[in-house]
């Protein structure tokens, strides 16, 4: 069972991939790929498999906006976040020009604090990374993420 309620907009979008951990939708009119987590915890192996599929879709579909809906997560895993920031985002930027990232965090305040601390650690550890070239914003919903 999904820990994240399915937003109405997702019912009208093509579903490209689904596992017990995440579903990938495309919003073609926005050149957007939406990765919605479905589980409270995702192992780094499953996480990388999901993002491998995201990579293929970004390349094949000309995706210009990536929306990562993490509202189902109840565990924060720094190694996954670091891989996502340092490896995946940089590869998508350099290989495909993907620079617009929208994130939807779980409602728990502690999760946001973990993200902030983890992000700061990554920025300190990898000062040469492309983070300043990316447009990263946090939103409250998928619909908002498609608008801003």
Residue 139 is predicted with a pLDDT of 98
Residue 131 is predicted with a pLDDT of 87
Q: What interhelical angle do 89-96 and 44-61 show, nearest 10?
A: 10
At residue 5 the predicted structure's pLDDT band, cuts being 50, 70 and 90, is low
Q: What's the pLDDT tens digit per position in 40-94?
A: 999 999 999 999 999 999 999 999 999 999 999 999 888 999 999 999 999 999 9
Nearest to 119 by CA among 74, 70, 86: 86
- Token reading at 34: 């939406």
Strand-strand pairing, 32-37 and 22-27: antiparallel
Nearest to 114 by CA among 73, 144, 86, 146: 73
Residue 146 is predicted with a pLDDT of 98
- Token reading at 63: 């995706």
At residue 1 the predicted structure's pLDDT band, cuts being 50, 70 and 90, is very low
Which residue's entry shows tokens 């951990």?
21
Name 100's bridge partners: 65, 135
Could you give the domains of the chain? 12-147 (3.30.750.24)
pLDDT above 70 (res 3): no
Q: What's the pLDDT tens digit per position in 105-129?
A: 999 999 999 989 988 899 899 988 8
Rounded percentage of the chain residues whose pLDDT exceeds 90: 82
Residue 119 is predicted with a pLDDT of 87
């Amino acid at each position: 069972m999904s820990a994240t309620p399915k937003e109405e907009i997702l019912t009208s979008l093509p579903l490209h991939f689904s596992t017990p951990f995440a579903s990938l939708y495309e919003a073609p009119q926005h050149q957007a790929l939406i990765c919605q987590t479905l589980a409270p915890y995702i192992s780094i192996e499953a996480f990388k498999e999901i993002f491998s599929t995201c990579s293929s879709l970004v390349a094949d579909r000309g995706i210009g906006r990536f929306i990562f809906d993490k509202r189902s997560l109840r565990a924060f895993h720094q190694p996954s976040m670091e891989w996502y920031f340092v490896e995946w985002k940089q590869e998508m930027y350099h290989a495909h020009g993907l620079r617009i990232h929208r994130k939807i965090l779980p409602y728990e305040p502690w999760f946001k604090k973990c993200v902030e601390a983890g992000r700061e650690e990554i920025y300190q550890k990898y000062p040469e990374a492309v983070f300043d070239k990316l447009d990263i914003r946090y939103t409250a919903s998928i619909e908002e993420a498609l608008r801003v």
